[in-house]
Structure 1
Amino acid sequence: GEGSGDILFTKGETADAKARIEEEAAKKKAAKEEAERKRAAAAAAAERAKAGGTAGTAEDDLHKLDLRVGKVVEVVKHPEADALYVEQVDIGEPSGPRRVVSGLVKYMSAETLLNSRVVLLANTKPSKLKGVESQAMLLCAFSADGAQCSLLTPPADAPLGQRIVFEGHDAPPEPTLNPKKKVWEKLQPDMNTGDDGTARYKGLVYATPFGPCVAGTVKGGIIKQ
């Protein structure tokens, strides 16, 4: 009696081992097929790019923008350029406020700008404007004729440093945007304010958990720095 029990047990083990081996083989086959699919997709994308098409659309890059809620804590005139302000903008970083150079002198007084809550594109590569390094980009809405300008304003409850995202595009941003790839430049033409002044990319709202960002007075405008 006992002997046959042992043999059955061994047979059971053999069946288990066989099932495991088959499962491993199936997994390997699936992984190989997936790798083949990815290779084929990459090759097709490369072909499209070579043919002058693109492997994706500008919209695929929306998540790369690191848009943050900020507050202007200091404003001075640029020492070398009458049309520029140099602002210090707090986005809640332990390292302190960012220095931002903006061409807003003809649109608003330093007093208006000071203490304003703003939307900052925080991952631009630092660049010098007339000798002063700008460490981010302050976004505004401009009327089509360029005569009017309004700061983009985040919701009052949104904390400093809160990230602003577009629905469906909330993956982590790039640490620093590569200037050669012109991510912002490709997206900017479709950045606008709706008839109600809400800031958008095409139809996607500049969103926070506390509500959308808006442009105070410029409706149907163009968003740029």
Structure 2
Amino acid sequence: SISLAAAVMKLDPEDGEQILDYFKTQALLTREKALLQASVREQKKLLVENAKLKTDIEQLKFQLQEKQRRPKALHLSKTVSPVSTTPVNQPAAPAGATAAPTPLSTAPAPQERREKQGRRRRGDRKGEKRYSTTVSLSLPYHTACQIIDALSLEPAPRVDASRLDLRVGRILSARRHPLSESMSIQEVDVGENAPRTVVSKLGTKIQLEELQGSLAVLLCNLKACKLKGVVSQGRILCCASSDDCLELLAPPTGSAPGDRVTFLNYPGEPDRELPSKQRIWERLHADLQVDNKGVANYKGCGFEVKGKGLCRAPSLTNCTIR
């Protein structure tokens, strides 16, 4: 039988590896979520058990205090010697007659009674010690509460466009991918010591000759990945209309390679590398749009190069950014 990986690669040879990575990531996230939920359930179970044990200990303490508060007279009445069972008005036995045997008392002797009471008291102390040992092995109530609060109130990491490392880049060269007709390879200068290699599908919609020397907006903190044997170190942002028309997102006039693209309403430093498990780019992608004035924005906040202006689509409006 054909495996899932082989089936995916057969259906989509180009993006099969990314699809499989997505499936693996989702499986890991589901497993981590299940483990976290199981941990929370276990903590709640310990809280219930601790509360029950605490109630039992209080009851045992109350019973012990009641025994200690009993009147001394009652205690003395239990330890006094038994009264003779011979009737007071019984006539004396005649001389020479054999005296009738004195019936044995059915009440326990004082010494035996004291031993039984001692055993009961020792049993109470053992029971109390056993409960206290069980409680000490469990988590304290306030500690368990703090753990549950920390699990439930832990702040979620921010997910907004400030986590994207967007920079202005100049495309130095563009050529066809040797293993795929639908892909092209660009060398992009983003103000670093060496240009970055980017693998894209721009060659199917834009003439490669037109790309050389153009300014573009590059997403620089995606994890580097191999596409058809070539390592891609970024993503060139483009504007795409509903009729599949494609344009490079254009930085403002006067921009230079390496200039940061920021968002006024979303300050903060970008991630050094976007964590692949959180899929930040995929979650933000739906909110990246070009408005009716041709300005690129995230949730209404424009792509801005400080001191130089906004990034725009050359001719498209009301379209998506990808």
TM over 0.5: yes
User: What does residue 163 of structure 2 align with?
Assistant: 64
User: What does residue 79 of structure 1 align with?
Assistant: 178
Q: Which of 257, 266, 289 is 1:160 aligned to?
A: 257
Paired AA for residue 283 in structure 2: K
User: What does residue 55 of structure 1 align with?
Assistant: 156
Mapped to 1, the partners of 2:149 and 2:157 lie a distance apart of 14
Superposed CA deviations along residues 73-111 of structure 1, whole A, max 9, x for unmatched, are 0111000010111000000102x1100001112211111
**Which gives a bigger RCO, structure 1 or 2 (Cα 8 Å, sep 6+)?**
1
Mapped to 2, the partners of 1:116 and 1:179 lie a distance apart of 29
Does structure 1 conserve the Cα–Cα contact (< 8 Å) formed by 2:253 and 2:309? no
Paired AA for residue 117 in structure 1: L
Paired AA for residue 160 in structure 1: P
Paired AA for residue 142 in structure 1: A
Gaps of 5+ in 2: 1-145
What SS does the corresponding residue of 2:285 show, helix, strand or coil?
Answer: helix
Paired AA for residue 218 in structure 1: L
> Equivalent pairs: percent with the same residue?
35
Superposed CA deviations along residues 162-189 of structure 1, whole A, max 9, x for unmatched, are 1101113231111111111111110001
Q: Does 1:194 find its partner at 2:291?
A: yes
User: What does residue 139 of structure 1 align with?
Assistant: 237
Mapped to 2, the partners of 1:74 and 1:67 lie a distance apart of 20
Superposed CA deviations along residues 4-57 of structure 1, whole A, max 9, x for unmatched, are xxxxxxxxxxxxxxxxxxxxxxxxxxxxxxxxxxxx8x947x4278xxxx9366
User: What does residue 53 of structure 2 align with?
Assistant: none
Mapped to 2, the partners of 1:217 and 1:129 lie a distance apart of 30
Mapped to 1, the partners of 2:263 and 2:320 lie a distance apart of 17
Paired AA for residue 208 in structure 1: V
Highest Rg: 1 or 2? 2
Q: Does 1:115 find its partner at 2:213?
A: yes
Mapped to 2, the partners of 1:172 and 1:194 lie a distance apart of 25
User: What does residue 271 of structure 2 align with?
Assistant: 174
Paired AA for residue 180 in structure 2: A
Q: Which of 211, 225, 232 is 1:127 aligned to?
A: 225
For the aligned residue pairs, the C-alpha RMSD in angstroms reads 2.1
Structure (1/2) with the larger helix percentage = 2
Mapped to 2, the partners of 1:131 and 1:208 lie a distance apart of 34
Mapped to 2, the partners of 1:77 and 1:182 lie a distance apart of 28
Mapped to 2, the partners of 1:161 and 1:57 lie a distance apart of 25
Q: Which contiguous aligned blocks of 4+ residues in structure 1 show a shift greater than 2 angstroms?
A: 46-49, 54-59
Paired AA for residue 203 in structure 1: G
Gaps of 5+ in 1: 1-39
Paired AA for residue 264 in structure 2: E
Q: Does 1:102 find its partner at 2:200?
A: yes
Q: Does 1:220 find its partner at 2:318?
A: yes
Tell me the matched-pair count: 176
Mapped to 2, the partners of 1:92 and 1:56 lie a distance apart of 29
Mapped to 1, the partners of 2:190 and 2:165 lie a distance apart of 12
TM-score (normalizing by structure 1): 0.73
Shift of 1:120: 0.2
Mapped to 2, the partners of 1:111 and 1:43 lie a distance apart of 59
Mapped to 1, the partners of 2:176 and 2:265 lie a distance apart of 39
Mapped to 2, the partners of 1:197 and 1:179 lie a distance apart of 31
Shift of 1:194: 0.6
Mapped to 1, the partners of 2:149 and 2:196 lie a distance apart of 42
Paired AA for residue 77 in structure 1: R
Distance 1:43 1:144, change over 3 A: farther
Mapped to 2, the partners of 1:208 and 1:170 lie a distance apart of 13
User: What does residue 38 of structure 2 align with?
Assistant: none
Shift of 1:112: 1.0
Q: Does 1:207 find its partner at 2:304?
A: yes
